[in-house]
A and B are shown apart, each in its own frame.
Chain A
């Protein structure tokens, strides 16, 4: 069980959290301007790296906030966690 650093609450055990998929997948401000290919990419395509991965978690049984985590999917080492809207460190 991971120990996840919530940017609001500090280190908390994984069972308090819900995984939220790849981070920084931005929904276009005006989807009408996106072509079909771009929207399909947005809907269905996600990275699945062996190594560093920026991903979303939600502190569901905690402060309820979504936030981002930079985690190595092979070692499970968490390098950083940061709030929504902040840049990947």
Chain B
């Protein structure tokens, strides 16, 4: 197809180059500078989509981000595909591949159009009322069908190939919109030396000046003035001009979200460079110069392809050199449409007539139209239109009544006036004030440091638009405004909100307000008949304004319809909240760099590389990767863990415990601070000794545990759980800073300062001792729960004699850089004893055999020290510690059936219970059964040759010896309640 609607001259496109693109598989031609919409129109294509609900054929309605109909999917393949783009904003590039949406099999023949034949059965609220019964049918039948029928574009199925960037930025003045007001504001601010960011959603700055052939600014044609203005910015290095950048959200404290498209217009050829960049701009002041959006008129069948907004048509003509049709009918309540008619006539388009709702429109534009001999129908309306896939004509009637007259046309251009774009201002929680003369909500008192300029503030004439911009920019930057001489730019006036009078049966026509969601004037009336009085209820009942265009075209018309029915003026009804984003932003912009391995930090210990080389299987523990087991040959986890357990019990094992949280607690009051934090008593703990500490929350429940070593009188080495490290330090800082500021003690996280290597098993000392200098680590010199500072393999170390396995054991803290070398030295030293690396799984089994709890496994935030059998650790003489007063409450004291930690042994020694399974007394009791508790840990114990389990059981300690049942998927397992220590209850092995 040739570009038969393209003019031979004019516009800002580059006719020296021709681009090929496809739409629904058909090839077309266009030029650089085109949008997909302008290029389609140049080829005479208006039909570009099907509506959401009725699947009505729809054409290009606008020339901007408010476009409700021309939604397309663009991308050369699935990995570069973006659905739901507005064709009016898609810049053309060579090879662009696009498709229409919401139609099957094609735009021209769409099965879904059956909905349009039966439209009377699909009124507003239809879904709320219809698919109520049977309940299951909703998820199984109705919803999938509806989702298939209704909806927008298809989601790509492959990962997005594009990269996305993000940036934080700061400025003195952020100007949103680079039209005449925004440019004037940015220039005024820039002259003060302020840091300015000027952003505009279009491919080039200029706004309305890009389609302004008549006006002169400071003696220059508008386009020329624009060039000089942009050239001036070059002299200000502190001004950043961002085109293709939409200010989509206004967040508290003057944080504005910008979405900058970087490579879309190049066809995303280069995946190495980011496709788009999300800016988070903190501005001292914001000037919103977002312009205004033309309103459609609401009349019967106002949605046929070929029906377009009048200013959009003028824009296609002036900016892209495209005629919307050969014979245009104008329907308006605003002078701007006269300007469109005159321009089209000059360009060779026949004007079928200008139908004006107003009885006696006047002013320069009307006079010019009269002078040009255009047929004007004042005080008239359009009663209906005809044409299936393209408008072919419309019937014009006087508003006063009388017979209609059909005028044929291939395009109908309408204007209901302009709605100021107050979206961002409203998002900032600025108050909107209704202006009755303009029939518009205008920015009132701001809630943030911002101002609104130009047509977004309701100013219409170009001279005033520029003056208001200059003033806003100067005020924002603390400078002085300067004025512009604007000539040959007469103001255009007028406007209408609501549904036009059309003299038909209101029940038999469809006059669309919200094109994208197929909401008609009748739906609004129905909503009010059904009792919806609030604009918010009407919105939700009808879905008016809830589509991706968020009612940019429909909100004011909805209010115009509601106002007379409710007998309330528009400001008394109010308007719905404007929500971000202003226009849809692809998800990739928000994900930014946080994809794949960069989604979260992945923390590795100093010994990780060794474990990896040994083929360890890792598990995630908070952000850490921890070696779970070290399979040899074809071992599965079960076999590997059994072997690792045997090694520790009978010989020696080595374990990377580096992820344990560590806090250095230093100061004269260190012991007193720990007294107040932990349940245990610390004053009498001698330097060189260790103690197992339990930390509660203020409500009395266990939150963390760990071994604490006293290095000197005033220095403690505190360990925490891996996952609790940050939480515990924050909690300690909180108490120290806010409750105990009188204590002279300071906290430092040393988690990553040390690599921690646990050597455990009867042979542990034989492995460690040869590497030690500067200390005697014999059983007599270094008994269980003591520590010494020494050197191991020449590296300074804090050597803890401690065990989480029940065997003789050491935990060796060395500066992290030396972790791997010390580990390898220990491996070498342990070779004669077949030293065996073991992982977290074996560690879990070994400690469960000993009944040692794991916070977060045996505890769940509702467990007290007594519940897990640790009441004896509480420092009885202490007047206070965190959680002590809570535990003393009557509510605790009087509770007799708390869940307590017990051991469980299954009748069948081979059966390993499911963790989390419930415990009941009688499995034959009627459901729901009375739950007595649940399994917290359950393992195969290689040492004991049978399964073992820990459980929290109501009144558990008193039930020792009882037989209970655990219902499992495989049947009811009978278990005996035992003490929660299965191995070496006397602890003799610890002291070896």
Contact = CB atoms under 8 A, between A and B. Distances in A.
Contacts of B613: none
Contacts of B889: 36, 39-40
Interface of A is mostly: mixed
A30 B253 contact: no
A32 B253 contact: no
Nearest to B893: A36
Nearest to B740: A27
A1 interface: yes
Given A18-B730, A58-B730, A64-B733, A1 B280 contact: yes
A32 B885 contact: yes
A76 B730 contact: no
Interface core residue of B734, B737, B884, B885 (most chain A CB under 10 Å): B885
Bin the interface of chain B by size.
Answer: 20 to 34
A34 to B, nearest CB: 7
A64 B732 CA distance: 12
Nearest to B280: A1
Contacts of A64: 733
A84 B741 contact: yes
B741 A34 contact: no
A58 B726 CA distance: 14
Given A36-B891, A39-B889, A66 B282 contact: no
B253 A1 contact: yes
A44 B886 CA distance: 11
A65 B252 contact: no
B699 interface: yes
B429 interface: yes
Given A1-B253, A39-B889, A40-B889, A30 B737 contact: no
A1 B252 contact: yes
B733 A66 contact: yes
B624 interface: no
Q: Which of B253, B733, B734, B891 has the most A CB atoms < 10 Å from its CB?
A: B253
A52 to B, nearest CB: 16
Contacts of B884: 31
B447 interface: yes
Q: What range describes how many residues of A lie at the interface?
A: 20 to 34
Contacts of A58: 730, 733-734
B738 interface: yes
Interface string A26-44: 0100111010100110011
Contacts of B280: 1
B590 interface: no
Contact of B282 (A3, A39, A60): A3
Nearest to B890: A36
Contacts of B212: none
A75 interface: yes
Interface in B789-841: none
A60 B447 contact: no
A3 B253 contact: yes
B698 A43 contact: yes
A30 B879 contact: yes
Interface in B596-612: none
A34 B447 contact: no
A31 B252 contact: no
Which 4 residue pairs of A and B lie closest in terms of their CB atoms, listed nearest first?
A31-B885, A3-B253, A76-B252, A66-B737
13 contacts: A1-B251, A1-B252, A1-B253, A1-B255, A3-B282, A27-B739, A31-B884, A32-B885, A58-B734, A66-B737, A76-B252, A76-B253, A84-B741
Interface of A: 1-3, 13, 18, 20, 27, 30-32, 34, 36, 39-40, 43-44, 56, 58, 60, 64-66, 75-76, 78, 84-85
Given A3-B253, A20-B734, A58-B733, 16 more contacts: A3-B254, A13-B282, A30-B879, A31-B880, A32-B879, A32-B880, A32-B888, A36-B890, A39-B885, A58-B730, A58-B734, A64-B733, A66-B733, A66-B737, A76-B253, A84-B738
